[in-house]
Amino acid sequence: MQGKFTKDKNIYRKSFLIVFGILLAIALIGSLITARNLPKGLSQIAKKHNLKIGTAVSSWQLDDPQFASVLIRNFNLITPENEMKFELLSPAPGEYDFSGADKIIAFAKKHGISVRGHTLVWTNQLPKWLVNGNFSRDELIIILHNHIDTVVSHYRGQVSYWDVVNESLAPDGSISQDNFWMQHIGPEYIELAFRWAHEADPNALLFYNEANAEGKGLKADGLFMLANMLITQGIPLHGIGFEMHTGLGWSPKPDELAINIQRLADLGLEIHITEMDVRIIEPASLEDLYEQAKIYAEIVQTCLDATNCTAYSTWGLTDTLSWIPHIYPGTGSPLLFYGDYTPKPAYYAIQKVLEIK
Ligand code: G3I
């Protein structure tokens, strides 16, 4: 009786294992077939052009599995939207809280995604202790040096590109006077920042990032002159970031963008499109969305046509996560995905450009 019971138990266990094995194999084959049939994400398609496709993220967004899966499928470059800025990193003099930015770096590492560090020197989002500290020029030079050294060293080998200096130019192309660092240190804050960043991580590529200087105009000329001056002086500047915040009816003309990219290429500089979005007056019609798609496609095409344009990033993943409606009420719908992560016409327009060439 005992023997029969043990035998039955063994047969039962064996059958269970066989059925389990078959089910597991079916599931594996199924998932392989599904993965094969999924259309390629943007970054996969762009690989043949040696173009990285990026977006801005906040650490809390990575907790959403849908956000994470759309991100991993389509992007191989991420920029922390805020969490590497001075205000968010340093709550008190000499104190650093890297938790948010570290989470983004860990995610990037896990999924083979490169990181653009943003940003070491900017006049916005500075800590209150710094702005209200009544520090002398010499003290501020030490504070800025320590900040750059601390942050770049913390991420040495993990951040491929740094936006070292952000938005230092006035609309007329001169170095902006309306800038904390300019007012307290003077224009040399720019070259000092690049030198210090390079000392802290000699392998990181160092970018100067600017808004509204992509096409033709005084600011674009000022940017070119600044880049030329830094290069001539032997400052370690490796690339220019064109933010590319645009809107329907006011985006840079592709031929003017191409000329601007070319003259910077002649200086030996790489170009990254760093923060693209195309805002629309709400409610956005289908016609507006197609017009938006055309602008996105034109900029990607111009970037592809230039050999030195190596990265193309949007400033956020979905329309609902964008900064635009908060700062420009009444406008919105600026990105490649609707709030529910469905791709918009702009997504397909970029996909088409990347596939054709
Ligand atoms: O961190 C504070 C938090 O402590 C506070 O409780 C909360 C209350 O509103 O605000 C939080 O700060 C917000 C911050 O983002 C971090 O989330 C600010 O209000 C908000 O104004 C700030 O906006 C950011 C903006 O830079 C600041 O200038 C946007 O998210 C960010 O997209 C935007 O990004 C810039 C690029 O860095 C440079 N180029 C232009 C681009 C668009 O402005």
**pLDDT tens for each residue of 64-118:** 999 999 999 999 999 999 999 999 999 999 999 999 999 999 999 999 999 999 9
Q: What is the pTM (predicted TM-score) of this model?
A: 0.90
Ligand 1 centroid–CA 82 distance in Å is 6
Question: Can you tell me the mean pLDDT for 23-43?
Answer: 63
Is 24's pLDDT higher than 60? Answer: no
Q: Give yes or no for residue 124 CB within 6 A of ligand 1.
A: yes
Cβ contact 110:68 at 8 Å: no
Phi, psi (5° rounding) for residue 88? -80, -25
Is there a catalytic annotation at residue 167?
A: yes
Region of residue 134 (phi > 0: left; psi between -120 and 50: alpha; otherwise: beta): left
Is there a catalytic annotation at residue 275?
A: yes
DSSP alpha helix (H) spans, 47-173? 65-74, 86-89, 99-110, 128-131, 137-154
* Half-sphere exposure for 345 (CA within 13 Å, toward CB): 14
Q: Give yes or no for residue 275 CB within 6 A of ligand 1.
A: yes
Q: Give yes or no for residue 323 CB within 6 A of ligand 1.
A: yes
Predicted pLDDT of residue 39: 83
Angle, alpha carbons 157-158-162 (nearest 5°) = 95
User: In Å, what is the CA distance from 21 to each residue of 9, 33, 242, 317?
Assistant: 18, 18, 54, 40
Angle, alpha carbons 40-82-235 (nearest 5°) = 90
Ligand 1 centroid–CA 327 distance in Å is 10
Cβ contact 286:339 at 8 Å: no
Question: Which residues neighbour 235 within 8 Å (Cβ) at sequence distance 6 or greater?
Answer: 191, 194, 195
Q: Give yes or no for residue 210 CB within 6 A of ligand 1.
A: no
The residue from 83, 167, 210, 214 that is catalytic is 167
Token pair in block for residue 333:
């719908």
Is 35's pLDDT higher than 90? Answer: no
Predicted pLDDT of residue 32: 47
Residue given tokens 């290429």 in the structure block:
265
Q: What pLDDT, in 10s, does the model give residues 229-274?
A: 999 999 999 999 999 999 999 999 999 999 999 999 999 999 999 9
For ligand 1, atom 22: residue with the closest CA: 82
